[in-house]
Structure formats: structure tokens, C-alpha cells
A and B are shown apart, each in its own frame.
Chain A
Amino acid sequence: QQPVQSPQAVILREGEDAVINCSSSKALYSVHWYRQKHGEAPVFLMILLKGGEQKGHDKISASFNEKKQQSSLYLTASQLSYSGTYFCGTGVNRDDKIIFGKGTRLHILP
């Protein structure tokens, strides 16, 4: 079942923070985050596994609340390069395929 992402779109000024949410009606094993710029391939950001993880690198981090079956992606002090569409993908077990949410379009203004 497709995860639900919110918001659908965000417009920010450079330096502002953003939070993108991903929720599922099913118990999750993993949550994957990807960013896709217009006309380019999706690029892997991070994977979070059940157990209640939090990960991050540089100014992009994410959390996974297993009990609530949801994950959040945090973009701190956003840069112009952060613009793009962010997809979460969820898996219900380690062998399962990943199903992507509809995406969140992020546009950063200078």
C-alpha cells in the first residue's frame, strides 16, 4: 500500500527549515528517502530501519517512529541545491519491494 507524504509541495527561502512526513497504514520494516531533481535520476538519501532510528548527514536528517508507522525528513538551513522532489519508499519486510509515496516538491528561493 502506497505511503502518504505531506505536504505535497513546499516553497522556502534559502536558510529556512523544512519537514517532510511519510506515513503508512501498515507496519513497516524500512523507510527509504530519495531526492529527484527535474530531468534527473532519483538519488538515494538514507534508509531507516524498524527499531526507531534517527539518521543524518550534513543538514539532512530523518527519524522513523515504528509505532506510529511514520517517518520524517528534516532539512535544516535549506540550500538552493535542496530543491527537487522528495520521495519516501516503504518496505514491510527486508525482502519486500519498496513502494514510493507520491512525492513532496520542494522549491528553495534565493
Chain B
Amino acid sequence: DTEVTQTPKHLVMGMTNKKSLKCEQHMGHRAMYWYKQKAKKPPELMFVYSYEKLSINESVPSRFSPECPNSSLLNLHLHALQPEDSALYLCASSQDRFGQGYQPQHFGDGTRLSIL
């Protein structure tokens, strides 16, 4: 079990659906991340939140919309996704944004997303 909890574990959705992924951590971390991981590939950074503010957006298409309601929660809202968006979506957290270079990241188990 990891200390970063992601729900749901699996999600199948059509291209016209709207859904959300949820991530929660209670380690007091102030930096939270969304990654996308395709099979046999490394995690690719999508977004970084630091102290509940969006600090990095890696030119992610607008059909992905992140939200950080408070320091423990991170959401990823999905709308009008494409089949190529099917992947494992990982959430991670670390102590703070300033010092990503030397802060370990704690990953959740991910949400496996399939777009029909």
C-alpha cells in the first residue's frame, strides 16, 4: 500500500464523457504531481502544484484540467479525450516544490484509463 491514494484504479470512458481522477495524500507534502505513463515507458510529467498553485504545465492539452482544492487533494478532470490518451495516470507528492531537484517523490498506484 502506498501513502498516496488514487481513485478510481481503473476507468473506461467514451470520447464524449467527462470524468475525474482523484489523488489524496496525508503526509503534509506541499507539492503534488500528475504524470502520464504509457506501457514500457517512463512517467511523463504533466502538471505540478506547489502550495495549491499550478507551477508547471508541460503543454498538456486543455482536455486535461487539473485542480488542487487543498493541500491534500489533487484532481484531474477529463473531457473529450482521445484514444491515445489511454495510459496509466500517476499522482505523486513531495515535501515542497522548491527543491524538486532533491526531494523524493511518493507515487500512488495510478489510475489505468482506457478511452473507447
Taking a contact as CB atoms closer than 8 A, the residue among A42, A87, A91, A103 that contacts B101 in the complex is: A91
Q: C-beta contact mask, A16-50 vs B, less than 8 Å → 1, else 0?
A: 00000000000001101000000011111001010
Which B residue's beta carbon lies closest to that of A99?
A: B45
**Which of B48, B103, B106 has the most chain A CB within a 10 Å cutoff?**
B103
Measured between beta carbons, the chain B residues less than 8 angstroms from A98 are: 45, 100-101, 105
**Residues of B in contact with A (beta carbons under 8 Å apart):** 2, 4, 40-45, 48, 56, 90, 97-110
Q: Are A95 and B90 neighbours in the complex by a CB distance under 8 Å?
A: no
**Which of B101, B102, B108 has the most chain A CB within a 10 Å cutoff?**
B101
Q: Are A43 and B42 neighbours in the complex by a CB distance under 8 Å?
A: no
Number of A-B residue pairs having CB atoms within 8 Å of each other in the complex: 63
Interface of A is mostly: loop
Q: Are A94 and B100 neighbours in the complex by a CB distance under 8 Å?
A: yes
**A57 interfacial by beta-carbon distance below 8 Å:** no
Q: Are B2 and A97 neighbours in the complex by a CB distance under 8 Å?
A: no
Report the separation of the CA atoms of residues A38 and B79 in the bound assembly, to the nearest whole angstrom. 28
**A58 interfacial by beta-carbon distance below 8 Å:** no
Measured between beta carbons, the chain B residues less than 8 angstroms from A93 are: 101
